Amino acid sequence: MLLIYPAVEQKIKLGLWHLWNGNTVRLHGYEIPVPTNWIADHTGAGDVILFAAGTILGQDQVSSMIFISQGPASEDMDMASSIYERSLESWGAQIFERRTVEFDGGKADCIVSNEFMSIASRHGPPISFNGVMSVRCVTTARISLDFNGDKENMDTFFSIVSQMRKANDEAQTSAVNNVK
């Protein structure tokens, strides 16, 4: 029986995933980059989750994730973001930053907060780990973007959003989401 250290096993899984799938996923007419230390998983019709292979918390668990789904296009991002900010404040979450990110064919108005930690603390024992951040983006495209994870991976999230490109082939018009 061959024993493989968990870190080596994780690198093999990442390498095989990228070998089989490439470095992008296609979703709702967009190509979304998947960095080499991340993998993507289609969760169902119209959703994809990107997982960072960073700190291993347990069997097949990772430290950060990005959830991308079909969402409403917002003509007035400022109003939609303001409504979300008020919700965060009513939940007792702290807002750290608001950032606009442009991508091919759209804009995202993103709010950085401790939403995940705030909700987790309300529904369980108090959590003192301050390194977990949440980002929710309202977009002009029909895409919903959410990040929960380590502060260190937040810049990767914003980089991924800024590199999203409209897919340029006819296959994207179908409802089937293909991993490239």
C-alpha to C-alpha distance for 156 and 172, rounded to whole angstroms:
25
Element (H, E) at 153: none
pLDDT reported for residue 2? 53
Which class is domain 6-167? alpha beta
Task: Give the pTM.
Answer: 0.78
Residue ranges of the chain whose pLDDT lies below 70: 1-4, 6-7, 45, 54-62, 117-130, 169-180
pLDDT reported for residue 109? 92
The model's pLDDT over 56-104, given as tens digits with 9 standing for 90+, comes to 444 334 378 999 988 777 777 788 888 888 888 888 888 899 999 999 9
> Residue 78: which residues within 8 A CB-CB, separation 6 or more?
109
